[in-house]
């Protein structure tokens, strides 16, 4: 087998979701570097693959990384896998890929399962642009800050979330992005209890609150793009900022400054100020 580092996606639930090329690669490489060897040993055994395994995660010592690099420099092929899905996507591998690139070791990424893309493809939310955030911070204050910075991001937002935090995250998202913003909760993809539910953020929150089963298992939360900012869609805090600045400056200047900060078109902000004065 050609020497190099093979990035091999593995199933995110349904064990049939592995490509023939992934199986061939895992069978013929000299070594499989895995996030959790016990977990991956079971996976390989399921497919009758006996290739040796070693542990690799982003906190392994320099020495382990150096050993892997030395083997590939010496002509061996090594596969990198994580517990599920595509390595490096909210999973270990980034440091190893960079280190291998620096030594001119070929990197061969294989296409395959990824929870974010699987969820997006079935969500019925716009797919022409999307923004993958991965895991939000666990603490509410930092999570809210991050959500605030993403609320106007163009395209569908994709988050991974732990089951015990989904309710709190939906509550924060509802407050920050607006209760009517369209969203999808994709749960247990490719598994027995697979559920994809599309609703408003507040609708999803009510749903998971009413049925604790919906808080169980693996979750991807997708939030549809913000509407084109319009007069009505102006966020309360932007409205307050606009009115406060307009107390000190003429409407056109106030609108232009708030537009720079918020991304809302200056014309919309200006109209907003003028219409308010007319009322």
Nearer Cβ to ligand SAM, position 35 or 238? 35
- In the complex, least distance from residue 219 CB atom to ligand SAM, rounded to whole angstroms: 5
- Please give the residue whose beta carbon sits closest to ligand SAM in the complex: 85
Judged by CB, which is closer to ligand SAM: 13, or 251? 13
Considering the complex, state which of residue 97 and residue 268 has its C-beta at the smaller distance from ligand SAM.
Answer: 97
Kindly state the smallest distance separating residue 78's Cβ from ligand SAM, in Å.
18
- Binding residues for ligand SAM, rule: CB under 6 A, are 12-13, 82, 84-86, 89-91, 114-116, 160-162, 186-191, 218-220
Cα–Cα distance for residue pair 122/4, rounded to 1 Å: 34
Sign of CA dihedral 59, 146, 267, 241: negative
Nearest distance from residue 158's CB to ligand SAM, in Å? 10
Report in angstroms how near the CB of residue 130 gets to ligand SAM at its nearest: 14
Least gap, CB of 31 to ligand SAM (angstroms): 20
Nearer to ligand SAM, 107 or 257 (CB): 107
User: Measured from the CB of residue 240, what is the shortest distance to ligand SAM in angstroms?
Assistant: 35
Min dist CB 91 to ligand SAM, Å, is 4
89 vs 268, beta carbon nearer ligand SAM = 89
CB nearer to ligand SAM: give 71 or 216. 216
- Toward ligand SAM, which CB reaches closer, 3 or 165? 165
Q: What is the 3-state secondary structure (H, E, C) of the chain?
A: CCCEEEECCECCCCCCCCCHHHHHHHHHCCEEEECCHHHHHHHHHHCCCCCCEEECCCCCCHHHHHHHHHHHHCCCEEEEECCCECCCCCCCCHHHHHHHHHCCCCEEECCCCCHHHHHHHHHCCCCCCEEEEEECCCCHHHHHHHHHHHCCCCCEEEEEECHHHHHHHHHHHHHHHCCCCEEEEEECCCCCCCEEEEEEHHHHHHHHHHCHHHHCCCEEEEECCCCCCCCCCCCHHHHHHHHHHHHHCCHHHHHHHHHHHHCCCHHHHHHHHHHHHHC
Cβ atoms within 10 Å, residue 28:
14
Q: And the tokens for 19?
A: 């490509």
């Amino acid at each position: 087998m050609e020497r190099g580092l093979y990035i091999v996606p593995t199933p995110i639930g349904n064990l049939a979701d592995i490509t023939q090329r992934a199986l061939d690669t895992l069978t013929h490489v000299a070594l499989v570097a895995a996030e959790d060897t016990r977990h991956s040993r079971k996976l390989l055994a399921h497919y009758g693959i006996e290739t040796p395994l070693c542990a690799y995660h982003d906190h392994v010592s320099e020495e382990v990384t150096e050993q892997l690099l030395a083997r590939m420099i010496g002509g061996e092929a090594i596969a990198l896998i994580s517990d599920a899905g595509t390595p490096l996507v909210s999973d270990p591998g980034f440091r190893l890929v960079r280190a291998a690139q620096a030594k001119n070791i070929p990197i061969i990424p294989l296409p395959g399962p990824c929870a974010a893309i699987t969820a997006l493809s079935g969500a019925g939310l716009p797919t022409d642009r999307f923004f993958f955030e991965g895991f939000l911070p666990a603490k509410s204050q930092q999570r809210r800050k991050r959500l605030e910075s993403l609320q106007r991001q163009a395209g569908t937002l994709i988050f991974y979330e732990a089951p015990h935090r989904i309710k709190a995250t939906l509550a924060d998202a509802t407050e920050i992005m607006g209760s009517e913003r369209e969203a999808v909760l994709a749960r247990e993809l490719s598994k027995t209890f697979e559920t994809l539910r599309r609703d408003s953020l507040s609708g999803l929150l009510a749903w998971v609150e009413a049925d604790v089963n919906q808080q169980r298992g693996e979750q991807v939360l997708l939030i549809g793009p913000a509407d084109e900012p319009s007069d009505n869609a102006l966020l309360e805090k932007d409205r307050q900022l606009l009115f406060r600045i307009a107390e000190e400056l003429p409407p056109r200047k106030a609108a232009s400054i708030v537009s720079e900060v918020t991304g809302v078109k200056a014309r919309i902000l200006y109209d907003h100020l003028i219409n308010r004065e007319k009322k």
